[in-house]
Structure 1
């Protein structure tokens, strides 16, 4: 689809990657960008239309879709992390991850699917992660939720094909945002990642791998557990 003249809805648009998606869409000639956030007063992008939405609250999701009936592009970006360890975290932390990344993304997609269909099909972008494909024990809740979100994304892609809705998954490792502030090592520029993802949407791509780590891990998927987890044979983790 073309970004020029599109009408977009971005969740988690008040900071980080969501803010950069909002800016990139406006720079690309979008006719309007609804900037969704739990607290819309925190949306600071000039020209964006702040909208209150909590993706874990179904009534809030339905209200957002009812307000934004002209949307042709939905960017499911909102997320969080509890840093739930696989062995020690309370199970409620895992539930929070799934409520946000899996059920929240699904709720938004279901609510906006008829809107997109009526407006010619349009597109959905789901912000996933390299952790959709490889897990970290110290953040296993996030990893598991992102893996499930990837599965939901694939199902949505097939289910919405008949109405002409393109579904693009974005995979990326650590970003230079508040969420990854405590993570050491190199991080991708969220502004560049947003532009790369949107270029993928215009090119009709089903998946966008926005950094080298994501490409490396995707390749390792075909080679089994020891390639994804070199530490099983005494090596260093891929991420």
Structure 2
């Protein structure tokens, strides 16, 4: 889709990758609704801050009413609690699934009729290389992102007849607050990831692989999982 003159809604736009996505959309000539749980934390020039909590249905519906001209939805908001599935707090596991799976689903369900009514457009779901790679220490995050990948593929098929493309962004660690403890040489520049993501949306690609880690892991999906050792 053409991003110039698009009307975009970016969730989690107050920091990290979401902030870069919102800023670059403005640079490309889009009208941008920068959504966050606390819109007062959005400090970007040229955007329209709106309140949207992906775990709060009323805030989602209100945002869809406000951004009634939307043609692009970027499901970027998410959390990581670094919770293992068996040893971790089950409420943290539920929170990750609520935020990283049910949240984007609820936002997409609210905005899909809006985008279709405006002549079609696109949805970008920010996923992760952990959609495909599932380390035990990040079990809850990986499970939620794997589910979000399945959601993305199914929703793509549902929305295609309505003139809406659906793309999945896969990336490893980025230099953001979520990955603060990861060595710098293992992290991608979120500004570059945002540029790759938006180019992929313009091209209508179903999957956007933003770094070498994602490309390598995607190519390895047919391999037999490693055997756990005692």
| TM more than 0.5 | yes
Map of 2:106 onto structure 1: 107
Instruction: Output the CA distance in 1 between the equivalents of 2:49 and 2:159.
Output: 27
Instruction: Output the CA distance in 2 between the equivalents of 1:17 and 1:219.
Output: 25
Instruction: Output the CA distance in 1 between the equivalents of 2:55 and 2:13.
Output: 16
- Partner of 2:221: helix, strand, or coil? helix
Instruction: Output the CA distance in 2 between the equivalents of 1:87 and 1:183.
Output: 24
1:183-223 CA-to-partner distances (Å, cap 9, x unmatched) read 23510011110110000011110000000000000011012
Map of 2:170 onto structure 1: 171
1:171 Cα shift?
0.1
The answer as to whether partners of 2:8 and 2:73 remain within 8 angstroms in 1 is: yes
Q: CA RMSD in A?
A: 1.3
Map of 2:92 onto structure 1: 93
- Partner of 2:120: helix, strand, or coil? coil
1:133-172 CA-to-partner distances (Å, cap 9, x unmatched) read 0111111100000000001111110000100100000000
Map of 1:237 onto structure 2: none
Map of 1:236 onto structure 2: none
1:91-118 CA-to-partner distances (Å, cap 9, x unmatched) read 1111000000110000000000000101
1:87 Cα shift?
2.9
Instruction: Output the CA distance in 2 between the equivalents of 1:51 and 1:98.
Output: 23
- Partner of 1:218: helix, strand, or coil? helix
Which ranges of structure 2 fall in alignment gaps of 5 or more residues? none
Map of 2:219 onto structure 1: 219
- Partner of 1:54: helix, strand, or coil? coil
Is 1:197–2:197 an aligned residue pair? yes
Instruction: Output the CA distance in 2 between the equivalents of 1:118 and 1:150.
Output: 25
**TM-score, L = length of structure 2:** 0.97
Is 1:38–2:37 an aligned residue pair? yes
Extract structure 1 runs of 4+ deviating beyond 4 A: none
Map of 1:129 onto structure 2: 128
1:45 Cα shift?
0.7
**TM-score, L = length of structure 1:** 0.93
Instruction: Output the CA distance in 2 between the equivalents of 1:232 and 1:3.
Output: 46
1:232 Cα shift?
4.7
Is 1:26–2:59 an aligned residue pair? no
Instruction: Output the CA distance in 2 between the equivalents of 1:182 and 1:164.
Output: 41
Which ranges of structure 1 fall in alignment gaps of 5 or more residues? 234-239
